[in-house]
Amino acid sequence: MGVNGKKIGIAVTGSFCTIGEAMVEFERLVFLGADITPIISNNVATIDSRFGRAEEIRNSLELISGKKCIDSISDAEPIGPERLLDLVLVAPCTGNTLGKIAGGITDTPVTMAVKAHLRNQMPVVLAIATNDGLSGSARNIGSLINTKNIYFVPFGQDDAIKKPTSLVAKFKLIVPTIEHALDGKQIEPVLV
C-alpha cells in the first residue's frame, strides 16, 4: 500500500546526528502525498547540539509538514481516541525511547503518541539509532520485534570498529518499511 493520502505521525527523538537523514525521508513522504504530523520529544524541543539548534529542527519539521509540532503529552494524547493517524513513525528512535516503548513508559510526547496510536491496533514504525543497540538496548529490540503492530526499518552496525554496539536504521528504507507496515508486514531483511 502506498503512502499517498495516508496520515503519518513523524516522531523525532534525540539522536541528533541522524535527524538530518530522517528529514530527507520526511520530505520524500510529503512528495509522495503523505499528510505528515510532526511530534518531537522533550530533548528535541529543548537541546541545541553540534548537529543543530532545537529551534532550527522545529522550524524545519513545521516547514516540511505545514503543521505545528506536537510537543507535549497532552497534545499527543488525542492521537488515540480521535484516531488521528494511520501510522506513527519514530525516526530516529533512540535507545532511551526504545526502552520506554518496550516498558510501557509514557513520559514524553513521542511515547504518548506511540501508546495512543497502539491502542487502536495501528502500525508503529521504528527507525532506531542507538549506540547501545547490541548491549543495553538489545533486549528492548528483541521484545519489540515480536510485538504486534511494531515494525522496524532495517538496521545494522554503523561503525563496527569504533562503536561495536551501535545500531542505526537505513533511513532510505523508511518509505518501503511504511508501505509494508500499512499492509501489516515487516519488510525483510531486518538486519542489513
Q: Measured between alpha carbons, how far is 79 from 76 in angstroms, rounded to an integer?
A: 6
In a domain, 2, yes or no: no
C-alpha cell at 24: 530527507
For the record, the C-alpha cell of 116 comes out as 495512543
Report which residue type is found at 51: F
Tens of pLDDT, residue by residue over 48-97, are 999 999 999 999 999 999 999 999 999 999 999 999 999 999 999 999 99
Q: Per-residue confidence at 41, pLDDT binned at 50, 70, 90?
A: very high
Within-domain flag for 187 = no
Tell whether 188 is covered by a domain. no
Domain membership flag for residue 40:
yes
Asked whether residue 15 is assigned to any structural domain, the reply reads yes
Residue 156 is assigned to a structural domain of this protein? yes
What are the phi and psi torsion angles at 37 (to 5°)? -125, 120
Which whole number is the average pLDDT over 172-185? 98
pLDDT reading at 1 higher than 90: no
Domain enclosing residue 149, as ranges: 7-182
Domain count across the chain:
1
C-alpha cell at 40: 518531537
In a domain, 153, yes or no: yes
Nearest to 102 by CA among 128, 80, 68: 128
- Mean pLDDT for the chain overall: 97
Q: Which CATH number belongs to the domain containing residue 163 in this structure? A: 3.40.50.1950
**CA–CA distance, 118 with 153 (Å, rounded to integer):** 18
189 domain-assigned: no
pTM of the complete model beyond 0.95: yes
The one-character DSSP state at 68 is P
